[in-house]
Structure formats: structure tokens, C-alpha cells
Amino acid sequence: MSTTSPPIAWVNSTYSSGQGQCVEWAPQHAAATGEVLVRDSKTPHAPYLTLTPASFAGLVVLAKGWRSA
């Protein structure tokens, strides 16, 4: 039996417009584990955040408010 985890499938923010400066998250991982992984797309090999779904929702609200300011 293998104990290696499958690679994480990262998805770009819909607001990135292909500019490469955005936040990425791993929706398949979130659905499977309940942990929402978030990282900076500019540094894909750097550490990432592990958030609860409620914390991730708060981050999205914060980002939307900052973007419209």
C-alpha cells in the first residue's frame, strides 16, 4: 500500500485575469478534507495557508472589500 499523497490541484482566482499575481486554492482538497489550502501564485513552492471553510469565507469577504476600496 502506498502512503504518498496525490499532488494538490491548485486553481487560480477568477480575478487574476491571467496576470499571474493572484491567490490560488485547492478546491478538490477542500472537498475531500474540509481544509482549505491557499497560496500565493507567484511563489508556488513556498508554504501555504491551511484554513477552515469559515476562515476562507472571511478571507474572501476581506479581499472583496479591499478590491472595491
Q: Report pLDDT for 25.
A: 92
Strand partners, 62: none
69 residues of the chain, pLDDT tens digit each? 556 677 899 998 776 666 666 889 999 999 999 999 999 988 989 999 999 999 999 988 887 887 665
Q: Which three cell numbers stand for residue 67?
A: 478590491
What's the Cα-to-Cα distance from 14 to each of 2, 4, 45, 46, 55, rounded to whole Å? 35, 30, 21, 21, 19
Q: Report pLDDT for 49.
A: 95
Separation between Cα atoms, residue 38 and residue 25, nearest integer Å: 5
Q: Report pLDDT for 13.
A: 72
